[in-house]
A and B are shown apart, each in its own frame.
Chain A
């Protein structure tokens, strides 16, 4: 007689990394009506997908990332991380911020090693691991530099190493290459693609640069102009991988996709400016 196997819930094989279910976000300031940044939004990010969110300025792109990171609470709806409801800081997520988030009083090496050290890893091991990661992002010769002695692009690389050393299952990136020049952005984009290809985490990548979004990701989501921003587009990017973030831009398929998405995005961008003038 066959033994009855205990029931295993499907959750154990859950491959949805991030799920937002009717999540809305409001900002409250005293003496003013609450500002509704995000209208109820539903979206899922698969475990190994690279998803970009594109939208006009002020459309609440960063707000979504902050909610997924657990830095702000949603006004309604629920967020699930690998099937578990999110409560407080999201421990599975690594967050590369738009602004510099490295500590100016620590060297590049100490900045990268910190998350391991506070987790109880032996100091020498943590520093060794940090050295490896800084070398991977091309900063092997700059270990002992303080952030102010590095260029903007180099500081972003330190930030990337700082995030990746923890092996987060979800990578949140908020216009990480925004302030960099076009060439450096493409180099950073390729670096990111290489590192991502090694262990394909779930990535949620916010940018206002549509070309960058298409070049890097598997899916591009379009967010409408705020307030009460909504998701208004979900485009699959079927360009072959591995890709080169610079060369891919000459691919005819790239142009087709770009044209399709841009026609939709253009209207939203125009709305933002219209609202600004009105």
Chain B
């Protein structure tokens, strides 16, 4: 399938879904509207609302806040995950001692932590960042830890025979391997950073996309909720685009990548 054909099909699916939604919410069938606008709004209204929000400039500060929270969650979570991943890989005893606690902390549904973070850090951005960090940290941690353990013993033996000392092994062997594992989970960890931010905003905030959606829900403004979700969806697509570009740049040495040089 050519790229053009693929994009055409992707757009066609989107248009078909919107068309179904439009018909269902505006055209009565046998005297009944299948998707009552009170519950489902209509595509035209939602589009209008998004256009209004963008035109009035009201949406940008909210996007900015959510983006800031996402970026901070990812950065802090990733730095922590890398540090602990390397630490535990280099200190197997510590890893064995802490293992049950790490598992316990990771199995905790993070939503229950949100009120605690709000209590500790207030309603500003930091309680959302904390929630995002609690999600991102474990993904990066597990991947970095795994990346170090999965280094091929043959490559390691070869590097030792080539005269690499411990620091050089870290720089030329462990670090690239750990980084490749981390980057291969980049979509997941960035996605979780965003989830942390939006859920945090939803539960209590005064700004951000999650706050916007929650506010609309509070007054049964279905159009507002759908408009917020639409903006969030475009926001996610944009972030995903950036992550994919970054991933290609960082992992171009791996087989099976589209841009692999031939």
Chain A interface residues toward B at CB < 8 A: 69, 71, 89-91, 93-95, 97, 99-107, 114-115, 118-119, 144-149, 162, 166
Contact = CB atoms under 8 A, between A and B. Distances in A.
B260 interface: yes
Given A95-B157, A97-B157, A101-B154, 4 more contacts: A69-B161, A99-B152, A99-B154, A103-B159
A148 B255 contact: yes
Contact of A90 (B161, B162, B173, B261): B161
Given A103-B155, A148-B253, A93 B260 contact: no
B160 A149 contact: no
A100 B154 contact: yes
Main secondary structure of the interface of A (DSSP, over half): loop
Given A99-B154, A101-B154, A104-B253, A149 B262 contact: yes
Contacts of A94: 161
B176 A105 contact: yes
A97 B158 contact: yes
Interface of B: 152, 154-155, 157-165, 168, 172-173, 176-177, 180, 252-255, 260-262
Nearest to B250: A105
A139 B253 CA distance: 18
Contact of B161 (A95, A106, A144): A95
Contacts of A105: 176-177, 180, 253
Given A103-B173, A118-B164, A148 B260 contact: yes
Nearest to B262: A149
A148 B173 contact: no
Contacts of B165: 118
A115 B155 contact: no
A259 B176 CA distance: 50
23 contacts: A71-B157, A95-B158, A101-B154, A101-B155, A101-B157, A102-B155, A102-B158, A103-B155, A103-B159, A103-B172, A103-B173, A105-B253, A106-B176, A115-B162, A118-B162, A118-B172, A145-B261, A146-B252, A146-B261, A148-B260, A149-B260, A162-B158, A162-B162
